[in-house]
Amino acid sequence: MTLRFDNRTIIITGAGSGLGEVYARLLASRGAAVVIVDLGENAEKVAASIGADGGKAVSVIGSVSDQTTAKAAVDAALSNYGSLDGLINNAGVGWERPFMEDSMEDLRLLMDVHYFGTVNMTRAVWPVMEKAGYGRILNITSANIFGMEGWAGYAAAKAANFSLGRSLALEGRASGIKVNNLAPAALTPMLVDNVKQPEILASVQFAKPELVGPAAAYLVHESVPFTGHTLFSAAGLVADILIGTTQGQTDPDLTIEKVAEFVTGTEMHENLKIQKSTIEQTTEGLVTTK
């Protein structure tokens, strides 16, 4: 069965180049009308190219950190295509730099684009999707959330998107809005221009951006069965990223010394449980202490 996006309109931010462009071209080739949001004229060029190939695309030029850009994207979707069904929060900036060499302005920029850009776009599309009783939102996070030297600010901003997506997935269930996350790894211009560690560049030499597109597209398809999931995709690999807790140990008379003993013991790392929400994790812990 071929998965198509006919009669669906999807906004993709940062789609003037890189992975965002890959997502836009793939979705358009499967019948979606796409709204391409980016800073400069590349957005217009990609939209024109998709149109020349027989697809449906319009462009919106602006920064996702500006709420007016988000409103313009929603207006473009509704005025041109009459619907708004999906959003891929892909726009981002990044660089490799020691944490203490980043200025506060640098760190705020990362949050403004990655996190608050995602917030702006999501808040703009949410009421439309809520009214329609249907929506698909994809937050682009990163494998850097596991920690990576030289990328602390970037990783923190991407981790914010990760947690935002998981929480919104819970809020959107009653309205038919599914929210998932994707952590892609690909040899993109941003990576080539900013990564200084040769072993990292070597590890992604075969990670073509086009191989990430299918996972992103599936996560905004009407048939996606889950919400609140995070997938990792690179070089043709698709895998789940999970949050879990171990069984741990409980003691109603807990002391600092006992904590030291527990966390260094092998028993602490047994019986992994995958958690779907904060409530699930905390209530599980409370049950075991009764």
**Catalytic site residue from 23, 81, 134, 154:** 154
What gap in Å lies between CA 59 and CA 120, rounded to an integer?
Answer: 18
Most confident of 123-137, 188-202, 236-250: 123-137
Domain boundary assignment for the chain:
9-240, 244-289
Closest CA to 74 of 135, 19, 28: 135
pLDDT category at 289 given cuts 50, 70, 90 is very low
Fold designation for 9-240: Rossmann fold (3.40.50)
Residue 121 contacts by C-beta under 8 Å, 6 or more apart in sequence? 11, 13, 37, 64, 70, 73, 87, 89
What gap in Å lies between CA 55 and CA 35, rounded to an integer?
Answer: 12
What gap in Å lies between CA 14 and CA 191, rounded to an integer?
Answer: 15
Report whether pLDDT(268) > 80: no
What gap in Å lies between CA 199 and CA 177, rounded to an integer?
Answer: 40
Report whether pLDDT(3) > 70: yes
The answer to whether residue 154 is catalytic is: yes
Chain segment 38-86, per-residue pLDDT in tens: 998 999 999 999 999 999 999 999 999 999 999 999 999 999 999 999 9
Q: How much is the pTM?
A: 0.90
